[in-house]
Structure 1
C-alpha cells in the first residue's frame, strides 16, 4: 500500500498473521535451528554473511522486514528528511528495519536517534549490513541492533537512505541475499537468517517441532544414554 502524504510516500506492508504471537514463538528458538528448517525445505542460502552480530550477546531480533536502501553520497540535500519521514511513517508494529549499505565503510549508518524514532513507530529491532554508532545508547535503551562494525563518524554528507520498502540486497553466505519487505528476519548471537514471507509459519512450526525433540535428546544425552539410540528415537543430535 502506498499513500502520498505531504510529498513523501507511506508504504506499509501488513502481515497476515498475529505478529505478536509469531514473534514470541520465534524468540524461543535460535538461529541455527531456523536455518536448519530452511535447509530442510530446500532453501540453502538464507543466512547473511558471517560478521553481522548483535551489540550484546543476549539481543535477538524477530519480525517482518522493513527494508531500507542506502547509498554513499556527499549530498547534504535537506529533502532527504522527506524520505526519512515517509520511512518512519511506513513502519508497522513488530517490524525489523533492515538496511543495505552497498559496502560503504565511511560512517556510522544507524544510531540512537534513528532507533528512537523507529521504536516510536513500532519497529522492534534493526539489522544494518554495515555499521552503527551511539552503541552504548542503543544498548542502554535495549533496542536490538545487529551490525558488521561500529563507527563514530556522522552519516550526513556521507551516506543516506534513498528508498524503503523495496527489495534490497545484503551480503549473504553465497553472494548477495535478496530481502523483500515482509520476509521474516530472525537473528541472535550466531547471525541473521532471512525467512521468505510465504514460509514464515511453516519454518516456525518445523523449528518448534525440532526444538522439542532436541530438548528430549539433550536430556537423554546428559543421562549418558547410547547416542545411537538417542538419535534413533528423537532424530536430532
Structure 2
C-alpha cells in the first residue's frame, strides 16, 4: 500500500508497518515501571550484550521515559531541497502504529536540529509515544511543554531543510552503541530513561521484560530489608539482588 501525491499522482511513498504479537500499550506500561540499568542487565544475563546506546543520549527532561517498538528512520546530511524527497514524511506518518517510538539515525551530522516540535506534534497525532534522535533536536522548550518524551545528544536551533533529510524508514539502521554501532530493526524494543537508551531485540521483548520484572521485585524486597537494618550479606543471599 502506498501514499500518492494528490496533485501530481507521480510519486508514491510505501506504507511499511510492523505488527507485534503483544499488547503494545500494556507492555509499554510495564516497561515504564522499570529502569534502563535493570533491562540492560537482564539482556546481558541471557547473552545479549552491548545493546545500550553510548553516553550522551539523554531525555530533554530527567523525568521522561520512552518505551515502545522501534519505528526506524534513516537520515543523511544533504543540501537538497527537493520537496518530493522531503515529503517522504507523508508515507512514514501513515506507517506509524500506536505506541511506537521514532528512532532516527543521523550519520553523525552536526549541522542542524534533526527533530522538532512540529515533527513531534505530527507523530503524536498518529500514536507515536516518543522519539530517540541519534543527533539533535530544536524547539526543546516546546517539546518539554507538550510532554513528548524526546531523547537526543545535543540541541541546535538550525532548520534541517537544506541540511538534513530523512530518506527512508522502517529499515534496519545503525545507532551509536556503548561497544560499537547497534543494529536496530523495525519493531525492536526501545526503552529510555534518564540514564540513556537500551534496545531490546524484537524477539526478546517479553522475555527480557519478565526477567527484569522479577529482579525489580527482588530489589524492592532487598532495599526494604537493608533499610530495616538487616545484614547486607544475608539480604543478598535471600533475594539475589543488591
TM-score range, shorter chain: over 0.9
Distance in 2, matches of 1:60 and 1:80, equals 32
Unaligned runs of 5+ in 2: 5-11
Q: CA deviation at 1:5?
A: 2.5
Which residue is 1:30 aligned to? 35
1:93 and 2:98 correspond: yes
Q: CA deviation at 1:80?
A: 2.3
Distance in 1, matches of 2:19 and 2:164, equals 29
1:193 and 2:185 correspond: no
1:178 and 2:183 correspond: yes
Distance in 1, matches of 2:57 and 2:110, equals 14
Distance in 1, matches of 2:195 and 2:3, equals 40
TM-score (ref. length: structure 2): 0.96
1:212 and 2:226 correspond: no
Alignment of 1:1-237 (within 5 A): 3-6=1-4, 7-237=12-242
Q: CA deviation at 1:223?
A: 1.2
Contact 2:99 2:128 in 1 (8 A): yes
Which aligned runs of 4 or more in structure 1 are off by greater than 4 angstroms? Answer: none
Q: CA deviation at 1:92?
A: 0.2
Distance in 2, matches of 1:147 and 1:41, equals 28
Q: CA deviation at 1:81?
A: 3.8
Distance in 2, matches of 1:8 and 1:179, equals 22
Q: SS of the residue aligned with 1:74?
A: coil
Q: CA deviation at 1:152?
A: 0.2
Distance in 2, matches of 1:124 and 1:222, equals 36
RMSD: 0.6
Q: CA deviation at 1:44?
A: 1.3
For residues 168-220 of structure 1, the C-alpha deviation after alignment (integer angstroms, 9 at most, x for no partner) is 00000011111000000000000000000000000000000000000000001
Q: SS of the residue aligned with 2:102?
A: strand
Contact 2:101 2:129 in 1 (8 A): yes
Q: CA deviation at 1:35?
A: 0.4
TM-score (ref. length: structure 1): 0.98
Distance in 1, matches of 2:18 and 2:213, equals 26
